[in-house]
Amino acid sequence: MEAYIDVDVDVDIGTLGALPSPSMDLDVFKSELDAWLDAHADELRPSFAGGGSLDQQVEQLGKVRRLLFDAGWMRWGWPERVGGLGGSNLLRAYLGEAVTLRGLWEPGFSALHEVLAPTMIEYAEPALGAEMVPRLLRGDEMWCQGFSEPGTGSNLASLACRSVRDGDGWRVNGQKVWTSLAQYSQRCILLTRSGTTESLHRGITALFVDMDTPGITVRPIGAMHGHEEFCEVFFDDVFVPGDRTLGGEGKGWAVAMDILPYERSTALWHRAAYLHDRLRRVVRTAPPGSLDPSKLGEITQLLFSFRSRSRSTQYRLHHGGTLGAETSIDKSLLAQAEQAVFDLAESALGLSLLVDDGPLQDQWRSEFMYSRAATIYGGSSEIQRNIIARRLLGLGNDR
Amino acid sequence: MDADDLELFRTAVIGTIAGRSGSALDSALAELGWLDAFDDDPRAAISVLFEAQGEACTASSSLARLMAHVLGHDGVLLLPSISSSDPPGLIDGTSIIVRGTSPTAGADRLVVVVADSSISRAVTTTADRFDFHRIGGLDPDLGLFEVSGTIASDDAVEAEWTAAVDLGRIALAHELTGVAAAMLELARTHALEREQFGQPIAGFQAVKHRLADTLIAIETARAAVDLAWDDRSSTTAAMAKAVAGRSARTAMKHCQQVLAGIGFTIEHPLHRYVRRVVSLDLTLGSSQTLTSRLGAEIIADGDLPPMLAL
């Protein structure tokens, strides 16, 4: 997941296939999908125990996407013009939840398509969207999101990665950081500075970049959870054709703002399911007497509240509503819940988590360490509180 | 109710509550037909009344009347002793020993629920059978009475105590959310008006973040209450009450700090809300009790409660 953003706009996402579809009822979808997942459990199952290596996780994600797409499940909730079958966003939400609860993919990665595909559908030339989006959904390709820079974290308007006109295309020079899975990605949705530095949010252009273009260097960053999931990406005179401009020149801010609600809606719903699964595992595997009832009760309440909140957000999307600053509360709840679940795991599994060998212990360790970032990724807790204070409480503009 | 009806109803309830408390508020709500509204749309009736009652920091016997109504009785239900959730009556041979609390000493009919092995039974009786002792304590404006006495067990009919407690807890969760929202508004207004170092204190991030955390706590409680309504199980009703109690305590702490000196005086209304948070949190099971009980149940079951489907 990318790290950022502090914004001031609400985004209307009512145009993105959010209307209820007469063609697929949610309850029918649920029962048919569950039956299919049960029937294909052997095919879908990861070949590795525990969390696996990053290579294994990415391979597993591709396999599951392909099987889901070919059987049609992955196409529901996406518009027909990009190879989807139409229908409500709730179908996608349920798919993500069901697959996550079965432990078939790494939920942090699986949610990437929930964030990136809508942007392409909304802003790419129709032919480009129709060509590319199915590749992402089918697992043929991985995509990454090039937003953050060494000098651009929460303040997106300070973006510095340059794009200048070159014939009918663009020349890109600069650097991105915190780009998830860039080393596996065939494409990147990249924000660049096409105007002057003073143009702030007006001079930003979004580009859809092939990662095999000459001049792109990817350097994975070792991270404390043990996986080189985040990368630095360097752009050295990289040529991007003009028809790869998303939303037109200078429209990058709008593209970024449109991604934001997805980072805090469907992706969070998947994550709620993931945390539910992990808390259940803690309850099942904790040695007798190791769980403090008050602590466990409080975390369960927090997690159930977060899920209820995220569910309301899903239904607001379903009804074609607008998502804005109130999703900062969803993100804040996720951050609290994620750290609380793994803090509990650490205290209950204690010594085993600390010293024992084995894939399950490795997974707990990695996830505990990853959860340290929950108050940082996707916009830090401080940024979320600034947004809440300014936009929801009207406490003024000072940061 | 549709959105327009709900807004009309809300306006009517807020108008009814304004400036009233105790028996005056009870009569006005009866005239408004609040229990009819409850029969028509329980969620709308409860959420609107109890949130408004919390925001106004006023008191009525609505909780006790609601719980009696849920049990199919007309009158005021005798509530458990503070911090208990058990029926206030205990069978002792052919009589019932009663010890509970009531928001009024003037009810025509008092409904007493008795724990009788695994089932509960209710007796409707008159208030003159009991001793009423006014509770002052931390929150005297609540106007509670400690009620005790002994009555005959002859006419006891079966009663679903749990159903009454569940709905009572949801109502209290709404009320606590209303109390917290009112405190936040007091603190927010103060932060925008109070100037130090040449600017409103709302400009300081330390203040902003306290108020943002307060809103997060309130919205967490609202999400838990939504869950309780959508799910309608005893487990989620208790969760809503616990989360709302804890959230209101969080709001109380942050808002007191932002309101600082003025919020410490009795010239400012905050102290009444602080008292109300504590007394409501302790009614029908405190956040602390309900939370550790939930944890103990999960440990005993070896699994989490069922989660609400999408």
- Give the whole-angstrom CA distance, residue B123 versus residue B10: 34
CB contact under 8 A, A297 and B292: yes
Partner residue facing B224 (CB), from A280, A305, A389? A305
Closest alpha carbon within chain A to B297: A293
Measuring CA to CA, how many Å separate A195 from each of A119, A145, A198, A202? 22, 21, 8, 8
Q: Confidence class of residue B251 from pLDDT cuts 50, 70 and 90? A: very high
pLDDT digits (tens, 9 = 90+) for A180-238: 999 999 999 999 999 998 888 889 999 999 999 999 999 999 999 999 999 999 999 99
Give the residues of chain A that fall short of pLDDT 70: 1-22, 398-399
Alpha helices (H) in chain B, listed in sequence order: 3-17, 22-32, 34-40, 42-56, 62-70, 161-193, 205-231, 234-264, 270-282, 287-301
Closest alpha carbon within chain B to A337: B220
User: Best residue in A90, A308, A313, A388 to probe B by mutation, most B CBs within 10 Å?
Assistant: A308
CB contact under 8 A, A385 and B203: no
The Cα of A362 is separated from the nearest Cα of chain B by a number of Å equal to 23
Partner residue facing B304 (CB), from A26, A283, A302? A283
Partner residue facing B294 (CB), from A93, A297, A306? A297
Q: Confidence class of residue B215 from pLDDT cuts 50, 70 and 90? A: very high
CB contact under 8 A, B288 and A276: no
CB contact under 8 A, B293 and A311: no
- Quote the tokens at residue A91: 């179908």
Partner residue facing B292 (CB), from A294, A307, A389? A294
Percent of chain B with pLDDT over 70: 100
Residues of chain A with C-beta less than 8 angstroms from the C-beta of B206:
none
A308/B contact by beta carbon, under 8 A: yes
pLDDT digits (tens, 9 = 90+) for B141-196: 999 999 999 998 878 888 999 999 999 999 999 999 999 999 999 999 999 999 99
pLDDT digits (tens, 9 = 90+) for B2-59: 999 999 999 999 999 999 999 999 999 999 999 999 999 999 999 999 999 999 999 9
- Give the whole-angstrom CA distance, residue A204 versus residue B59: 56
The whole-number pLDDT of residue A16 equals 42
Phi/psi-derived region of residue B113, left when phi > 0, alpha when psi is between -120 and 50, beta in every other case: beta
pLDDT digits (tens, 9 = 90+) for A151-160: 988 888 899 9
The Cα of A88 is separated from the nearest Cα of chain B by a number of Å equal to 12
The Cα of A387 is separated from the nearest Cα of chain B by a number of Å equal to 9
CB contact under 8 A, B292 and A395: no
The angle subtended at Cα A144 by Cα A309 and Cα A277, nearest 5°, is: 40
Residues of chain B with C-beta less than 8 angstroms from the C-beta of A297:
242, 290-296, 298
- Phi, psi for residue A311 in degrees, rounded to 5: -65, -45
Partner residue facing B310 (CB), from A97, A326, A399? A97
Nearest CA-CA partner of B75 in B66, B83, B86, B84: B66
Catalytic (active-site) positions of A: 263
Residues of chain A with C-beta less than 8 angstroms from the C-beta of B298:
283, 293, 296-297, 300
State the burial class of residue A47 (Cβ atoms within 10 Å of its Cβ: 0-12, 13-18, 19+): exposed
Measuring CA to CA, how many Å separate B105 from each of A319, B68, B147? 49, 16, 9
Nearest CA-CA partner of B140 in B46, B266, B4: B266
CB contact under 8 A, B223 and A301: no
Residues of chain B with C-beta less than 8 angstroms from the C-beta of A99:
none
A284/B contact by beta carbon, under 8 A: yes
The Cα of B51 is separated from the nearest Cα of chain A by a number of Å equal to 19
- Collapsing DSSP to helix, strand or coil, B15 comes out as helix
CB contact under 8 A, A333 and B216: yes
The Cα of A94 is separated from the nearest Cα of chain B by a number of Å equal to 7
